């Protein structure tokens, strides 16, 4: 993103996945659970957010993000997502080749070369660690959270043939929060996508009906985003909107409303 010299964007991040971010240029701040972080050129692991994480960016910036499916962090690196929720760590802390990735990306001549470099590095990491696939319980719960986050947790466990306490334990490890909070966040993120114009308009009524009434929607949204829906619509959110668009595209593919790589409804 190209930004005029001396200009700063005040925005936020709200991701439901652990995300590896390669910051190639620009100066960032993020208000994490451990306080204010200031970063420039670096390779970072952002834990999922339980609510909006305020961020600022000064100067033009380039950021490459890789979202990890729930459970991938434990399957590959044996980390508990609950330990990094609303937090930021360096890739090097987890034995990932962050510095090498930054150097390699800066030598790439095109976006395609960047993607190929990262894909090759990820394949190497998976091979060296002998990684297994994420826990099927997490895969199942992610699918439900995308398709119908209004279902009670006990009903999700019953439909999946999973003992309730086992579901709660695995979800907390791989999503970083309790199942109930994961579903609550999913509803809010879908509504935020609708408000920012990066959702399937045909779902608008269905998304609103997930909330009992307008006051309930306002209360839930304000608690997670720090502002009422009307203020959210009126406030420019360029970085957050990009993250919401990416998630919504992933969701529509997961529930088979859009084919992988197909044109999205809002485009």
pLDDT band (50, 70, 90) for residue 1:
confident
- 118 and 213 inside one domain: no
Domain boundary among 129, 154, 176: 129
DSSP assignment of 67-79 equals EEPTTHHHHHH--
**For residue 21, what pLDDT is reported?**
94
* Measured distance CA(84)–CA(89) in Å, rounded: 8
Rounded to the nearest 5 degrees, what angle is found at the Cα of 155, between the Cα atoms of 150 and 157?
115
Residue 152 has pLDDT above 90, yes or no: yes
3-state secondary structure of 22: strand
- Here the tokens at position 146 are 């995308």
Q: What pLDDT score was predicted for residue 174?
A: 97
Query: Is the model's pLDDT at 160 over the cut of 90?
Result: yes
103 and 51 in a single domain? The answer is yes
Over 90: is that where the pLDDT of 187 sits?
A: yes
Percent of the chain with pLDDT over 70: 100
Residue of 37, 38, 30, 25 lying closest to 12 (CA atoms): 30
CATH number where 197 lies: 1.10.10.60
pLDDT digits 0-9 by tens, 70-115: 999 999 988 899 999 999 999 988 889 999 999 999 999 999 999 9
Q: Residue 5 pLDDT > 90, yes or no?
A: no
Q: Terminus-to-terminus CA distance in the chain, angstroms?
A: 19
In a domain, 175, yes or no: yes
Q: Per-residue pLDDT averaged across 223-232, rounded?
A: 96
pLDDT value for 254: 93
What pLDDT score was predicted for residue 46? 96
What CATH code is carried by the domain that includes residue 119?
2.60.120.10
Dist CA 226 CA 193 (whole Å)? 16
């Amino acid at each position: 993103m190209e930004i005029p010299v001396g200009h700063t964007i005040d925005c936020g991040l709200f991701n439901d996945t652990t995300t590896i971010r390669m910051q190639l240029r620009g100066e960032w701040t993020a208000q994490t659970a451990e306080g204010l972080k200031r970063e420039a050129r670096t390779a970072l692991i952002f834990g999922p957010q339980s609510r909006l994480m305020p961020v600022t960016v000064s100067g033009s910036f380039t950021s490459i993000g890789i979202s990890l499916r729930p459970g991938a962090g434990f399957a590959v690196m044996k980390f508990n997502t609950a330990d990094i929720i609303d937090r930021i760590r360096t890739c090097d802390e987890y034995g990932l080749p962050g510095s090498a990735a930054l150097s390699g990306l800066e030598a790439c001549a095109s976006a395609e070369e960047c993607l190929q470099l990262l894909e090759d590095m990820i394949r190497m990491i998976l091979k060296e660690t002998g990684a297994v696939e994420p826990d099927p319980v997490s895969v199942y719960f992610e699918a439900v959270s995308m398709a119908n986050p209004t279902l009670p947790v006990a009903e999700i466990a019953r439909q999946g043939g999973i003992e309730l306490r086992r579901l709660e334990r695995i979800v907390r490890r791989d999503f970083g929060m309790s199942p109930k909070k994961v579903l609550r966040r999913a509803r809010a993120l879908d509504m935020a996508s609708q408000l920012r114009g990066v959702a399937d308009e045909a779902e608008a009524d269905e998304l609103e009906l997930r909330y009992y009434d307008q006051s309930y929607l306002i209360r839930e949204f304000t608690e997670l985003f720090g502002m009422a829906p009307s203020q959210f619509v009126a406030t420019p959110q360029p970085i957050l909107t990009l993250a919401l668009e990416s998630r919504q595209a992933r969701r529509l593919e997961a529930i088979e409303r859009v084919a992988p790589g197909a044109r999205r409804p809002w485009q």
